[in-house]
Amino acid sequence: MEITLTEANFEQEVLKSDKGVLVDFWASWCGPCKMLAPVVAEIAEEHPEIKVGKVNVDDEGELAQKYGIVSIPTVMFFKDGELKKTSVGFVPKEALLDLTK
């Protein structure tokens, strides 16, 4: 299941999560984001050990700015409240899963 992340719930859902969190920064007008969305959804369904969240950069500009998002899609992996790895642009599922290792 994918969680919609906002400024209001980011700390609780991501930084205080007891499991690793894959965060997809995206926008509805972004072509590569649309290509990546089903890949992210698959990971959410197939890997219950990973929490998956999505940040709409148009709705959550402050959050995107806080994490230095300049290109989308950007996928970040957080564990124990820290940013561990980042991927920018469309990548295959295996590359996203590699972020979580």
Could you give the residue numbers annotated as active site? 30, 33
How many whole angstroms separate alpha carbon 4 and alpha carbon 6?
A: 7
How many CB atoms are located within 10 Å of the residue 51 CB?
A: 21
CB 23 within 8 A of CB 79: no
What is the Rg, in whole angstroms, of the alpha carbon atoms belonging to the chain? 12
